[in-house]
Structure 1
């Protein structure tokens, strides 16, 4: 029995496999502990290392097994099938490892730039670049991994050769079909690099005010102020105009417009605006003023400017100022609220003229 076992051509490769797998796992454990200690001071690399810990535990034994199967005699029965299966598993595991490395490095970069600070412009820039570029790279890695797995099958290579023979027609059809996909892919790269928008930016798009909640590989999710979601393709932000209220910083200058009769004195209004703004917790202390910006045949337009640290605070501050001014005018100067004037003496003459026969 032992002689027959030793004489089996699979005995040597199997014994080598039984030794190589535990040895590779031991190397993985020791190497992982060393690398974790070394990279602890570098958050991006440390996070990447933690994210590839599990796929690396699969890749190392598969690499060891593939070396053993390749070293086995070619005339060994079923060795070709074993090599092919091990190769497929190795490609899949290597793709998993690469995707984990990209995602882990991106998350590590995000952790180095926390966004829960008052001035989070740099953090939002890094977050947008890391997330968008990581998703784009992972999409390319998954496609490449799937293509490599297909190319290991002879039938797939023959199909590929036949497709190349008719590349003219197929290329035109594929180009037309994949145009939206490639357009969004290129737009995603432009957004990640040029950054016309970032995560948590405040935008006005299609007449809607909201924050950028998500940027993925094909579209952007804008969270509207009333918790609705506006879904827009990536290409929209490359081809269409829109407003970005937090492009350079989160500080904003808010405006409030009210209308009053020409008899309204401006000095009390300026004093009241100063009192309201300085008492408002939303004001950041930078600037405020009151000016008459327009005059119509009936009323004058009064504009109040005031600053806040963010768009949300600016909106609340504008509401506070608007409510305070209206309340002040209703209480102190109700006679100067906007009104429609008419001449009482000319009214009977106009009525009489309308009644005369024509």
Structure 2
């Protein structure tokens, strides 16, 4: 019987190896078959081997004392191998779906949405398969089935305790599912969160990783994005507008500076030819505030374009119109003296034009605040 079992096992493994070679050969023309051959080979080999051994022990052995424990262990291994194979097949199918949706294109908003949803669905499916496999393993034990009745009888109390203990975890899980299907945020979205600028690098059921511009990683719970405001720069499209503000003197030639801005942008690969505007938006502290509004295809190009525009306009102003650079004007007034009650032309000053004199009340105030007269 052992010889028959060994021969059956070797034959089954040879068949699996032959099928694996055929699928790999076909995988040269199909990405799906190539992924299937590489990732499903090991779980298939284990599953087929366990099935052959299980059938050999089940139908070929006598009533030995070791028969039942061996069958029980092989049954558990069979459930684990089957769950492994099912999870692998689901992941291969999800990867095949992702390969059809490319993210390396100019407008990849829809592709990033699909990638976000499929990534979260993959984690959910793997967790569900693992839970089902664990439950199936436990149900093979008669004592576990008997304990199930008592567990169900006290399900209310246990459920309340579990819900209270896992409130934060479940909140993050539901927030992750809401993020995946609400299209509020996706992988590779450019966001500003916690006053930091970065890109969504990873989304899980419990946390989100933001890759910041200086290569730091900001890890936030998924519930944060459902309860706090944040900026999403690429929700509808990747193209953005950016402003460059300059505080210059009143003598700045605005029209010439506007022409210089156009000259800087024309022919520049960072500019997407959409917006080029220069306006005087405010007067602050004796200086004119000019705002240059430019556009770019995405956030990284916009950042570099804003820095370039700021540098070029600064150099042009310093070299061509240095008088337009910010300056502080100070006017020194002569020492004030007490004005007479008449104007310079000899006419009488109206009483409502002076606080001190020449009325009776004004004269009283003048004496009160001028101090005692010298003898």
TM-score, normalising length: structure 2: 0.81
Correspondence 1:323-342 to 2 at 5 A: 323-342=311-330
Alignment of 1:169-188 (within 5 A): 169-188=157-176
Contact 1:25 1:60 in 2 (8 A): yes
1:271-305 Cα offsets, whole Å, 9 max, x none, are: 11112112533212333121222334623321111
Aligned match of 2:5: 17
- Look up the SS of the partner of 2:276 in the other structure: strand
Deviation readout 1:199-238 (Å, 9 max, x if unpaired):
2221100110011122233211111111221110112222
Q: Give the 3-state SS of the residue equivalent to 1:286 in structure 2.
A: coil
Describe the superposition over 1:71-91 as per-residue Cα deviations: whole angstroms up to 9, x where unpaired: 457844322212111011111
The equivalent of 1:4 in structure 2 is none
Worse-superposed segment, 42-51 or 95-104: 42-51
Correspondence 1:109 to 2:101: no
- 1:318 is displaced (CA, Å) by 0.2
Q: Return the alpha-carbon distance in structure 2 between the equivalents of residues 253 and 34 of structure 1.
A: 54
Contact 1:109 1:126 in 2 (8 A): no
Shift of 1:328: 1.8
Q: Cα distance, 1:32 vs. partner?
A: 3.5
Which residue is 1:322 aligned to? 310
Larger radius of gyration: 2
Structure 1 residue ranges (4+ consecutive) displaced by more than 6 angstroms after TM superposition: none
Scaled by the length of structure 1, the TM-score of the pair is 0.84
Once residues 291 and 8 of structure 2 are traced to their aligned partners in structure 1, the CA distance between those partners, rounded to angstroms, is 78
- Segments of 5+ residues of structure 2 without an aligned counterpart are 338-368
- Alignment of structure 1 residues 1-358 onto 2, 5 Å: 11=1, 14-36=2-24, 43-44=31-32, 46-71=34-59, 75-296=63-284, 298-345=286-333, 348-349=335-336
Q: Which has the higher contact order (CA 8 A, sep 6+)?
A: 1
Q: Is the 8 A contact 2:239 2:298 kept in 1?
A: yes
- Report the structure, 1 or 2, having the larger helix content: 1
The number of residue pairs the alignment matches comes to 340
Quote the RMSD (CA, aligned, Å). 2.7
Instruction: Select between 147-156 and 96-105 the one with higher mean Cα deviation.
Output: 147-156
Please give the alpha-carbon distance, in whole angstroms, between the structure 1 residues aligned to 2:14 and 2:277: 71
Secondary structure, in 3 states, of the residue corresponding to 1:283?
Answer: coil
* 1:83-122 CA-partner distances (Å, limit 9, x unpaired): 1110111111112112222222233333333433444334
| 1:357–1:62 CA distance, 2 compared to 1 (3 A) | farther
1:172: how far off?
0.4
The whole-number CA distance in structure 2 between the counterparts of 1:165 and 1:244 is 48
